[in-house]
Structure 1
């Protein structure tokens, strides 16, 4: 049976164009980008070009892009770096209960050293209400961190409205756009965000590379101290190989922007599931304000992991945790007040650039056989 990959939110394959862009750095371009000689200068140029490509994807200046080892490091740099440098202004952070662990766990760490964190709930679609954020602001609030889109449901948050609230109150605003960058158009100035996270392996770049947008004028304490790499914010010789891969991936994503293929294919998938299963299948997340490639559905009174186990050639995921034979409802769905008999049957299908309509038809057929 031919394998089908519908787990693009977990990780994407490398785009062939990304592999081609990286290839010369494995052989010809081996100099240190900080070196002022014939071997270093072309590598420095490649690094600068990659930074320009990442900046272009989100509408920023290249000087506002810091390369990191991925989304988790970028999130840690945003939260810890900002808190350490600015805690003299206040100690209060606002976030949500449905953030990725790369946000929730740094917040818990900061609470141990004096930070006060407000974790806001979400509505039935998984969206935080902007007015709840405004109500949570105190004179001690220095940072708001809200994910751009949820990795499980694909629900997109009202980032622009939150950005306007943050700007009005003079509070720094961070968004984790790991799942969104490359899937939907993002402009940091329109969204009024000051810090934004990108993860390479979510947009056809390698694992182990990411970026943090830091608006000019923002002051962060480096997590890694040493020489003055990355504008003095991240010491260590830059991984130009992976940075070039991320840059090329961002260039491709910019070219793909606005094309309806993924949205149309995801909508087709949902229509086919509804046609076959009717009331037995339920959509989790917002029906419209969600990523164009993400379809989180529940097969009512079923166990999502059991269904996936019955189709071993299909790669998809559930948000539920399995421990010693017991199933624990996804924390995200729990915060959305999804009933147990619905949430246990949740499966996240995340489509990608290389997904075909034939694959979708095959998956629907497979589920029809086993349910």
Structure 2
């Protein structure tokens, strides 16, 4: 691993963020405090939802909304094969089965790929907005409603993204948000379960306050070490990643509630969300201007309401140059820029092959040629230009 000048997925924090942390600690409100209610208020109104539960992780939030949507043992839940593997454990925790669907050109579920995966056992569809780019969830909701199937709006990667001016997370029957690492609003960790109907979450208002202290300090330490100080800690993380391997199953998630310390940071991040996304969109436009038009490069399109978590580029190998994406990641790493390959389709991983039912050709065709470029607000336009220059040089060599 090489020294990192521009890391990927560094949280967008400012002085107010650190003041919120200190205020929560020195006021004795690390576990319980007013920021929990404040965060719920910041979420409920714009999303148009009636009920929320603040959780220790997005995975636990997903389990809660799956149960609230009536998913039970033996049911099937449709998810995209091209997404984070952390979507799978909450489904398995209930005793349901994941059914993998292909993705479209924008790397999200489409109504066609969802329709091909539905069966008589399908109880719910989870629709992530990958890389902050909104999926066409409206037509998926229409299809699901015609079959009496629930839709979960997974906005973990897309907090602040909109469809026709309406924030994602509030479409469908229920949704989830995340303040975990490598998210648009990357805080101290935590997730939010949201539902349009208040009675959906009536049975899940459980008291988990005894676990909140560990949630707070674990989130603080991991965020500071692996995210805020990522420029210096990335070499150690790189060694760990090489040991664990890219196909490792996700770590077990804890069934904990969110701590007030986590909520305090999340409230601050919600206040700066507009500036955060505007800065990300500006960097995406810069990449598009610098990299667009090449025969061997394809920029995955962002919709107008995208939160622009990262800029995703597909390289097109020619001849025997099948390792072009890996070579590009290596070259950028040597220059001090952290980029990464994208997800391996879940149905191709050994731990999940028993649930594979059909070929998923688009995900299988494109995944190995995708790389993610940094577009956080802290990434300078000079760095964007340098990254784009290296990409073009390697691709055209």
TM-score, structure 1 normalization: 0.72
Residue 212 in structure 1 maps to residue 193 in structure 2: yes
Separation (CA, whole Å) in 1 of partners of 2:287 and 2:329: 17
* Distance across 2 between alignment mates of 1:243 and 1:25: 10
What is the DSSP-based 3-state SS (H/G/I as helix, E as strand, rest coil) of the residue aligned with 1:146? strand
Secondary structure, in 3 states, of the residue corresponding to 1:217?
Answer: helix
The one of 291, 304, 318 aligned to 2:306? 291
Note the C-alpha offset of 1:93.
2.5
Shift of 1:351: 0.8
2:219 is the counterpart of 1:195: no
Deviation track 1:92-126 (CA, whole Å, cap 9, x = no partner) reads 3333322321213433555xx4x354322223443
User: 1:221/1:120 Cα in 2 relative to 1: closer, same or farther (>3 Å)?
Assistant: farther
What is the CA–CA distance in structure 2 between the aligned matches of 1:86 and 1:339, rounded to whole Å?
Answer: 29
In the TM superposition, what whole-angstrom CA distance separates every residue of 1:256-314 from its partner, at most 9, and x where no partner exists? 48x75433431221221236xx212223x446478352322133324323322223310
- Asked if 1:266 is matched to 2:279, the reply is no
Matched, 1:118 2:99: yes
Q: Secondary structure of the residue that 2:340 maps to in structure 1?
A: coil
Cα distance change on mapping 1:220 and 1:367 into 2, 3 Å: same
Q: Does 1:356 align with 2:336?
A: no
Cα 1:131/1:220, change in 2 over 3 Å? farther
> Structure 2: how far apart are the matches of 1:262 and 1:236?
31
TM-score by length of 2: 0.68
SS in 1 for 2:266: helix
Q: Which residues in structure 2 correspond to 1:153-192 (within 5 Å)?
A: 155-184=133-162, 186-187=166-167, 191-192=171-172
CA distance, structure 2, for counterparts of residue 135 and residue 320 of structure 1? 22
Aligned residues: 328
CA distance in 1, matches of 2:267, 2:30: 19
- Do 2:78 and 2:126's aligned partners in 1 also have CA atoms closer than 8 Å? yes
1:309 aligned onto 2:330 = yes
Q: How far apart are the structure 1 equivalents of 2:126 and 2:16?
A: 33
Structure 2 CA distance for aligned equivalents of residues 307 and 135 of structure 1 = 35
Partner of 1:23: 22
The structure that is helix-richer by fraction is 2
CA contact (8 A) 1:120 1:128 kept: yes
Q: CA shift at 1:168, angstroms?
A: 4.4
CA–CA distance in structure 1, aligned partners of residues 76 and 341 of structure 2: 33
Larger Rg: 1
Give me the CA root mean square deviation. Answer: 3.9
Query: Equivalent residue for 1:246?
Result: 266
Partner deviation per Cα, 1:22-66 (whole Å, 9 max, x = no partner)? 220111234763xxxxxxxxx2x33211221233453334xx221
Matched, 1:98 2:97: no
Relative distance call for 1:168 and 1:190 in structure 2 (3 A) is farther
For each residue in 1:148-171, what CA deviation from the matched residue of structure 2 results, as whole angstroms up to 9, or x when unmatched?
x124xx553111222233344443
SS of alignment partner, residue 296 of structure 1 = strand
**Residues 26-65 of structure 1: matches in 2 within 5 Å?**
26-30=25-29, 33=32, 43=33, 45-61=34-50, 64-65=51-52
Q: Identify unmatched segments of 5+ residues in structure 1.
A: 34-42, 322-330
Distance of 2:266 and 2:4 partners within structure 1: 30
Q: How many Å apart are 1:222 and its aligned residue?
A: 5.1
Taking structure 1 as reference, are residues 236 and 296 closer, same or farther at Cα in structure 2, changes over 3 Å only?
closer
Q: Call closer, same or farther: CA 1:137–1:27 in 2, change over 3 Å.
A: same
Residue 212 of structure 1 deviates from its aligned partner by 1.5
Task: Please give the alpha-carbon distance, in whole angstroms, between the structure 2 residues aligned to 1:280 and 1:31.
Answer: 51
